């Protein structure tokens, strides 16, 4: 073929791509919803605002929309993704820098479709792929709550994303593939309680956002629902039949864990889960019960697999355990301030060692109202080789699952900060058991 012919074909190809892109962008446009200058001065019934406050807690809005040390809901928190940094936005009712002139329609569209008032597509770092299931009533209550918060003037921080993801119209393609808009249809073959649990868990609670793995496009992998995911440098363990807890969860233990952030047989919720449970305490008992019913159905039932091998190989790991850990974890002390026997520990029995590495390196921060940490960090006392020996020993002694691979690298990357682990809550609320005197236990 002559060079000219090839050039002509190439030119046509470029034209076709450009036309295709233009048609796509035209289709991807979303209209702006007119400003409502009086949105932030509306009055709402006190009961609606109060319900919105509880719903906002379940949705954990404050955690993502607050930069530590700055006013609540004013945004600016850096959310790392494999594609770059995304910054949460100001959702206080400031008319210029926040959502103070958003009508309820605009707010509902953001929650359901991930589109802002001006018509721009939003990144799914804002979990609208799950909030889309929230009912109109609950969205209205959330709106009432946000619109009655103090307005804070704070300009949004521009995102820093790899090329070409900074170009928002691309998100229309993502949504076409991965956004399943609207409420979940209730299942007739399940109880009302189960359906209520599904509504909260799969919607506002956005539990799958951490507990389900993501595909290469950052979308939740629906074929592996609740199969375990990653969040803020922690492993959000599987909540389906692969749940690694040595003692299977029961209705009662799950309710206690969700309500108070710890349970006698399962220990304390660590990492980002501590904040989730700290927020769930605002839910009425009936809702916590419903979530537990739904989650238990996801997990199914199975036999316990608590392992404590007396014949685990002695050596450096065994010595460190005896000298450093046993005083708390082998002493039969009650939860949440005593260490759980590690044979009952989910992290020690999980497929990936990351949570144990995080716990041993950084410890567990103090509970609300307590001065001392629940568990001190041993990052300074133990070097990498000590940590690797200890982790190998814990796994060999307290789990029947295969040995962890790549411990050297995982410990090294965690210590060097290459693998970013969030150990402090996003909003400055202290981590740890929500309320030690809560009912249950």
Q: Looking only at residues 50 through 89 of this chain, which bind ligand HEC when binding is defined by CB under 6 A? A: 56, 59-61, 64-65, 79, 86, 88-89
Tokens of 366: 């103090």
Report, in Å, the least distance between residue 43 CB and ligand HEC: 20
> Rule CB under 6 A: is residue 329 a binding residue for ligand HEC?
yes
Strands 262-263 and 234-236 come out as unpaired
In sequence order, the 6+-apart residues with CB closer than 8 A to the CB of 326 are none
> Rule CB under 6 A: is residue 269 a binding residue for ligand HEC?
yes
* Whole-angstrom distance, CA of residue 307 vs CA of residue 401: 10
For ligand HEC, which stretch binds (CB under 6 A), given 13-21, 147-155, 328-336, 410-418? Answer: 328-336
Report, in Å, the least distance between residue 240 CB and ligand HEC: 11
Choosing from 74, 91, 288, 293, the residue that interacts with ligand HEC (CB under 6 A) is 91
Report, in Å, the least distance between residue 13 CB and ligand HEC: 32
Cβ closest to ligand HEC, residue 24 vs residue 282: 282
Segment 400 to 439, residues that bind ligand HEC, using CB under 6 A: none
Segment 222 to 261, residues that bind ligand HEC, using CB under 6 A: 231, 234, 236-237, 239, 243, 245, 257-258
Backbone angles phi, psi at 259, to 5 degrees: -75, -45
Query: Which residue reads 């229309």 in tokens?
Result: 172
Report, in Å, the least distance between residue 426 CB and ligand HEC: 9
Size of interface with ligand HEC, in residues (CB under 6 A)? 75
The long-range contacts involving 309-317, CB below 8 angstroms and separated by at least 24 positions, are 309/396, 309/397, 309/398, 312/393, 312/396, 312/397, 313/393, 313/396, 315/389, 315/393, 316/385, 316/386, 316/389, 316/390, 316/393, 317/389, 317/390, 317/391, 317/392, 317/393, 317/394, 317/396
- Give a three-class secondary structure readout of 118-157: CCCECCCCCCHHHHCCCCHHHHHHHHHHHHCCCCCCCCCC
Cβ closest to ligand HEC, residue 22 vs residue 118: 118
Report, in Å, the least distance between residue 9 CB and ligand HEC: 38
Contact 201, 207 (CB under 8 A): yes
> Rule CB under 6 A: is residue 145 a binding residue for ligand HEC?
no
* Whole-angstrom distance, CA of residue 406 vs CA of residue 364: 24
Cα 190 off chain centre by: 27
**Which residues on neighbouring strands pair with residue 79, listed in sequence order?**
86
| Nearest Cα to Cα of residue 81 among 181, 154, 174, 172 | 174
Segment 337 to 396, residues that bind ligand HEC, using CB under 6 A: 337-340, 342, 345-348, 355-356, 359-360, 364, 374-375, 378, 390, 394
Report, in Å, the least distance between residue 14 CB and ligand HEC: 30
Choosing from 100, 209, 261, 365, the residue that interacts with ligand HEC (CB under 6 A) is 209
For ligand HEC, which stretch binds (CB under 6 A), given 147-155, 310-318, 327-335, 404-412? Answer: 327-335
Cβ closest to ligand HEC, residue 6 vs residue 102: 102
């Amino acid at each position: 073929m002559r060079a000219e012919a090839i050039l002509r074909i190439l030119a046509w190809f470029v034209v076709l791509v450009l036309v295709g892109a233009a048609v796509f962008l035209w289709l991807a446009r979303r209209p702006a919803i007119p400003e409502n200058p009086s949105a932030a001065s509306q009055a709402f019934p006190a009961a609606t605002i109060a319900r919105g406050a509880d719903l906002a807690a379940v949705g954990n809005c404050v955690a993502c929309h607050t930069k530590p040390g700055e006013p609540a809901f004013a945004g600016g928190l850096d959310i790392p993704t494999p594609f770059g940094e995304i910054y949460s936005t100001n959702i206080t009712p400031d008319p210029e820098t926040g959502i103070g002139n958003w009508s309820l329609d605009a707010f509902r569209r953001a929650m359901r479709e991930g589109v802002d008032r001006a018509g721009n597509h939003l990144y799914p770092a804002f979990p609208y792929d799950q909030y889309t299931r929230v009912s109109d009533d609950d969205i209205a209550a959330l709106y009432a709550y946000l619109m009655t918060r103090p307005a804070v003037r704070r300009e949004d921080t521009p995102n820093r994303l790899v090329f070409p993801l900074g170009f928002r119209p691309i998100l229309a393609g993502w949504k076409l593939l991965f956004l399943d808009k609207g409420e979940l249809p209730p299942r007739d073959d399940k109880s009302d309680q189960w359906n209520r649990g599904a509504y909260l868990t799969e919607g506002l609670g956005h539990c799958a956002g951490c507990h389900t793995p993501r595909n290469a496009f950052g979308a939740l992998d629906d074929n592996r629902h609740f199969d375990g995911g990653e969040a803020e440098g922690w492993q959000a363990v599987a909540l389906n039949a692969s749940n690694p807890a040595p003692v299977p969860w029961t209705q009662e233990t799950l309710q206690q864990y969700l309500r108070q952030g710890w349970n006698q047989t399962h220990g304390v919720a660590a990492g980002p889960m501590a904040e989730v449970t700290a927020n769930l305490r605002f839910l009425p008992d009936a809702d916590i019960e419903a979530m537990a019913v739904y989650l238990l159905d996801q997990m199914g039932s199975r036999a316990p697999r608590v392992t404590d091998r007396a014949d685990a190989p002695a050596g450096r790991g065994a010595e460190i355990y005896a000298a450093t850990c046993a005083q708390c974890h082998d002493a039969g002390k009650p939860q949440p301030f005593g260490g759980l026997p590690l044979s009952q520990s989910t992290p020690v029995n999980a497929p990936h060692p990351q949570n144990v590495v995080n716990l041993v390196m950084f410890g567990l921060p103090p509970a609300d109202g307590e001065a001392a940490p629940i568990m001190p960090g041993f990052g300074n006392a133990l070097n990498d080789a000590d940590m690797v020996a200890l982790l190998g020993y814990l796994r060999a002694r307290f789990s029947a699952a295969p040995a962890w691979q790549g411990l050297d690298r995982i410990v090294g990357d965690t210590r060097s900060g290459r693998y970013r682990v969030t150990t402090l809550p996003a909003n400055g609320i202290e981590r740890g058991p929500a309320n030690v005197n809560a009912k249950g236990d």
